[in-house]
Amino acid sequence: MKTNLLFDFTVNKENNSVHVKREFAAKQDVVWDAFTKPEILDQWWAPQPWVSKTKSMVFEVGGRRLYAMCGPEGEEHWAVADFTSISPKTNFQYLDAFCDADGNINDEFPRSDWNLDFVNQGDTTLVYITIKHKNLADLEKIIELGFKEGFTIALQGLDSLLSNS
């Protein structure tokens, strides 16, 4: 099994985007399921010691995932992912937002467009993630909130999950 897996996190302020390239030591269908099935997503999506709890998820174009990031002190931060495009096993896109427990979007925080590509490399899978923001201020706000650190920890959680399955 390959242990030196690719990880690249780049912030592009010229086009208000974050680009993540991440290799996983698992086959494409397994990695796809880890990103698209709530019972698997909830095992790794939040950076530890936080946990992700999906309230509802319909993985189809026009569908939505409503979930909370739950902290060790009882904190809850709700978010939605509104699915805009799905090409099974290879790509999906969604618009994310912070919201309340009922899915009402909080306009004080920026939304962002996520595009995830899954590339089969035999025993490993490369995931390309592009996150576009409306403007530079929105991008900088998310970075200041610790997105890079939190997402990096979450992806490490997925590594652990995949290595134990």
Q: Is the pLDDT of residue 100 over 80?
A: yes
Where does the pLDDT of residue 108 fall: very low under 50, low under 70, confident under 90, or very high at 90 and above? confident
Q: What is the mean pLDDT of the chain?
A: 94
Tally of CA atoms within 13 A in the half-sphere of 119 that contains its CB: 9
Average pLDDT over residues 80-108: 97
In the numeric block, which tokens belong to residue 92? 């999906």
Average pLDDT over residues 145-163: 93
Q: Which residues pair with 12 in a beta bridge?
A: 17
Average pLDDT over residues 95-105: 97
Average pLDDT over residues 130-137: 95
The pLDDT value recorded for residue 3 is 59
Of 40, 23, 34, give the one whose Cα is nearest residue 120.
23
The pLDDT value recorded for residue 132 is 98
- Give residue-wise pLDDT tens across range 8-46: 999 999 999 999 999 999 999 999 999 999 999 999 999
The pLDDT value recorded for residue 165 is 75
Q: Is the pLDDT of residue 2 over 60?
A: no
Q: Which residues pair with 114 in a beta bridge?
A: 94, 131
The pLDDT value recorded for residue 109 is 82
Please give the biggest Cα pair distance in the chain: 44
Tally of CA atoms within 13 A in the half-sphere of 81 that contains its CB: 26
Segments making up each domain of the chain, as ranges: 7-163
For β-strands 17-24 and 112-121, DSSP reports them as: unpaired
In the numeric block, which tokens belong to residue 48? 């530890």
- Give residue-wise pLDDT tens across range 44-70: 999 999 999 999 999 999 999 999 999
Average pLDDT over residues 120-139: 95
Of 19, 14, 25, 16, give the one whose Cα is nearest residue 163.
25
Looking at CATH, the fold of the domain delimited by 7-163 is given as Alpha-D-Glucose-1,6-Bisphosphate; Chain A, domain 4 (3.30.530)
